[in-house]
Amino acid sequence: MLKKFIALLSLGLALCAAGCGNDTTAQSSAQTQDSQDSQEAEETQAQDALRAVYLKNDNGVLFVSIEQDSPFTGNIPDEILDEDGNAISEDDLNNGDVVDVYGNGIMLESYPGQYPGITKLVRVEKENQEYIEKYQEMVDQFLPDPDTSQPPELSLSYRQTDAVVTAICDQFGYTWEFTDENGESQVVIADTAHVLQSEGLIQFELEGETQMTVVSAYPPEQIVVSRWEVGQREASKDSVPEGESVPVEELEDGLAFMAEPGYIYEITGSWPEGEATYGFEAAAKNS
């Protein structure tokens, strides 16, 4: 009887040892899998990075993809790291720095391309002179000195569900003073119909109340925005009613204001050379 008990006890201990061994093996296997998954995720993230040259002058910033030699613009994210993984700011980036660009991978079709979904920049090399010389022509082309002999075009950038849109406003009257090639001061005054009286005013289709950011090769120092209900257009043929003032904010991306369908907007920009007026109609986007 004692021998039988000892035999059963030995069998139980063996089974317990085998079970514990299986648990340890399973735990080790799970840890190995987690490590592999983490490594694969890091490799995927590295593959998703777009290596580019960061180029800038007094007129803006341009990226150029090194692999494709293709220029693109994009937002500057809050997360910027140097070669050692330390956090830095945009002010620490220099012309010619080589950076890995992380983001959602969606490049808008334009030329240069637009990459509004950048989430992180990692600098891998500082001020590569070879790239500065190689891409200088692109910088001159896409970041030129503004022509101050006349009011610039004024565009508005805004986000919709399926895209980030940049559209040019209609230009109206202006007063502009500049120095010509002979060094003589010239003053040009252009009178036009009021934006509310304009026929064929450009329409921007909006999904609802939308933030509009001013974009220009020569940005205004400040803007004043007014609006009228579309229904007031007919009555404006006799006299233009006073418009409703629209608040303007100064954001990192530029001067911005909110617009909504059903209104006509007038934007008056101010520069050292003078003032110019622009306008558009905000219409409801068809679903």
- Mean local confidence (pLDDT), 110-126: 93
Mean of per-residue pLDDT scores for the chain: 85
Which residue carries 């202006």 as its tokens?
174
Q: What is the percent of the chain where pLDDT is above 70? A: 83
Peptide bond into 112 cis (omega under 30): yes
CA distance 284 to 281: 10
Q: Which pLDDT score is estimated for 33?
A: 55
Which is higher by pLDDT, 146 or 127? Answer: 127
Which is higher by pLDDT, 8 or 211? Answer: 211
Sorted by sequence, the CB contacts under 8 Å of residue 71 that are 6+ apart come out as: 62, 63, 64, 65, 111, 112, 113, 135, 138, 142
Q: Which pLDDT score is estimated for 111?
A: 87
Summarize pLDDT for 44-74 with one digit per residue, the tens: 444 479 999 999 998 889 999 999 999 999 9
Summarize pLDDT for 216-262 with one digit per residue, the tens: 989 999 999 999 999 998 877 778 899 999 999 999 889 999 999 99
- Nearest-10 Cα torsion for 87, 89, 92, 95: 120
Helix (H) / strand (E) containing 2: helix 2-48
The bridge status of strand 254-259 relative to strand 249-251 is antiparallel
pLDDT-wise least confident of 3-7, 32-36, 93-97, 167-171: 3-7
CA distance 49 to 52: 9
Nearest to 70 by CA among 55, 81, 87, 85: 55
- Mean local confidence (pLDDT), 143-168: 90
Instruction: Tell me: pLDDT of 187 over 80.
Output: yes
> Do the Cβ atoms of 264 and 281 come closer than 8 Å?
yes
Summarize pLDDT for 88-105 with one digit per residue, the tens: 999 999 999 999 999 999
CA distance 284 to 210: 11
How far is residue 229 from each of residues 15, 264, 280, measured CA to CA in Å? 83, 6, 12
Instruction: Tell me: pLDDT of 110 over 70.
Output: yes
Nearest to 120 by CA among 89, 92, 61, 79: 79
Written as six digits, the tokens of 167 are 């559209």
pTM for the structure as a whole:
0.59
The bridge status of strand 50-57 relative to strand 97-103 is antiparallel
